[in-house]
Amino acid sequence: MTGRIKRGETPPIAVHSNILTTSYLPPRSSALHLTCSSTTILKNQAFYNNSNTMTAHTADGKKNGDLYRDYIDDRNAKSQDTLYCTSNGAPYPHPYETQRVGENGPLLLQDFHLIDLLSHFDRERIPERVVHAKGSGAHGYYKTTDPLDDLCLADIFQAGKSCPITIRFSTVGGESGSHDCARDPRGFAVKFRTDEGNWDMVANNTPVFFLRDPAKFPHFIHTQKRHPATNLSGADDSTMFWDYLSQNPESIHQVMVLMGDRGIPDGYRFMHGYSGHTMKLVNKSGNWVYCQFHMKSKQGTKFITQADSASKSPDHSQKDLYYAIERGEYPGWDLCVQTMTPKEAEDLWEKEKTNVFDLTHVWPQKQFPLRKVGEFFLNENVKNYFAEIEQVTFNPSHMVPGIEPSADPVLQSRLFSYPDTHRHRVGTNYQQLPANAPRVPYRMANFQRAGNMAFYNQGARPNYLSSIDPISFRNRSVDLNKTHGHFTGEAITFLSEIRPEDFRFPRTLWEKVFDDGAKERFIGNVSGHMSTCTDKEIIKRQIGIFREVSEDLASRLEKATGVKGYPGISGLRFNGTHNGMAKDKSLRAANGMTIKVGFSATDNNGAPTSGTHKFADGV
């Protein structure tokens, strides 16, 4: 297929065929090179077995503190080139032996080998991700094919620039052992290891999500997990899922995508990726534009029907990705951007009520066409899944100069939440792990020290800003005072409001994108999933929300479910969202709130209005 790299062909940048080789590390001087030399790495079993030639260390002049195990050597070593040892490096004759009293007595506490083995085994698991627990991944490379330097000063977007990458795909709601073919959004996280640090694109395979108010996220994810009393998942009891959706109607756009054909992609190779959030690109002149990132599959897209999903392996996507790479069928994606100026963002809201800060809205591609920037391929499977995929971490707050966040409230909350969960799940020094560590052409340093498992603890260098032993600095390349808005205002409470414009994009999907077959499958998917919802009131409310998308859609669902839905949402009150379409003003405020004191809905629904960017270029 177009863009595919076959085994035996020369990749566009062969140097990036192995993500974890030393070729990615900066040149080392003798002072920085602390790994063991080839003469001090004892590799041969026969050498170890020859006690006459075995020595602790060769007298090569190295300091004892400069000797330690090398990650790359350990990762690539074959079993035949290793020697069985205890965790403290002492050779041991057999892994099954134990020490005991006599031939039939109890075990001995002094048997460190056994005690250490069992103790480590008891601690082999780290907490699984609260979200995106089931995942797959691989290594590869990115290359800029169409420079973006007119809009962005990031070094990686200069002509011909390339870097190694790691991608982790995932389902969202399921547990680590859940089925790969669940109807669920897919995570699409890419770690670009650029010369200016790691840039993490933490994306999904859908351009929108279920919410736009950040405090809703934990609530929504809880509805994707097991019921606290029955411990049943949504496969057996979908009540919590539809209860949330029926009380938060802004989720309708993502529901249309999820319950449509894109809800179960046929493996990770055959799906696109979307940033969903609006970012900012800053150029060398200090001017900036809003941006959405798209990753378009060179393999095209494929889907699995609900009926066919049951016949697939629980690890269908993992198998497909792994063995495709083993066969040399390296999957690839085009990296594209949509951009708009600050003035265009204001006009888009004022004229069309599309909010660039709203994770449930999309940017019309006819108005804001895709522009290709580069492409990336996955051409290397991992050697160790736990070390390279389970421990790899992705943070939307990991950006490089030239890429900045927007005021998207869900993005803003993720900037905190993602690194915070990694510190809990993996550890304080998670970024020191080889899977996460930056690979930059300079000696990076900061004043972070110690903590659990500190490996790169920066030697004897001062742990404060010292004038005696000063650290070097690089001048700022982005004027943050200009890039970020001049926000002047009072502190307010905010909760978004459902309005007619929120149904425009879902309606387009139903009326102009779905063909007859897709519509039939959609009705079957929704009604089938609703069949395990135990509360008919929830279904009535949800059909009322669907009716705002299309009367045809709602009528079909009523026939399929046997439940007569509400005539729309004008007579409903929601517990999660203000209802801007309510006929009775008493129904407008979300449950438990009042319009009289501190009402948290705003006229602009959180969008950038005319004059918001008065200091930006072109406004």
Mean pLDDT of the chain: 88
499: which residues sit within 8 A by CB, 6+ positions away? 353, 580, 581, 605
Question: pLDDT tens, 333-367?
Answer: 999 999 999 999 999 999 999 999 999 999 999 99
Helix (H, G, I), strand (E, B) or coil at 189: strand
Q: What pLDDT was estimated at residue 12?
A: 45
Structural domains in the chain, CATH included, are 1-35+70-82+125-205+265-436 (2.40.180.10), 208-227+234-264+493-619 (1.20.1370.60)
For residue 611, the one-letter residue type is G
Cα gap 163→142, rounded to integer Å: 5
Of 360, 150, 156, nearest to 274 by C-alpha is 360
Q: What pLDDT was estimated at residue 540?
A: 98
**Total length of the chain:** 619
Query: Does position 1 have pLDDT exceeding 70, yes or no?
Result: no
CA 202 to chain centre: 3
Cα gap 252→249, rounded to integer Å: 6
Exposed, middle or buried by CB within 10 Å (0-12, 13-18, 19+), for 406? buried
526: which residues sit within 8 A by CB, 6+ positions away? 259, 557, 560
Tokens of 57: 């260390």
Question: pLDDT tens, 398-429?
Answer: 999 999 999 999 999 999 999 999 999 999 99
Question: pLDDT tens, 541-553?
Answer: 999 999 999 999 9
Catalytic residues: 132, 204
Q: Where is 51: in which H helix or E strand?
A: none
In this prediction the pTM is 0.87
Query: Does position 619 have pLDDT exceeding 60, yes or no?
Result: no
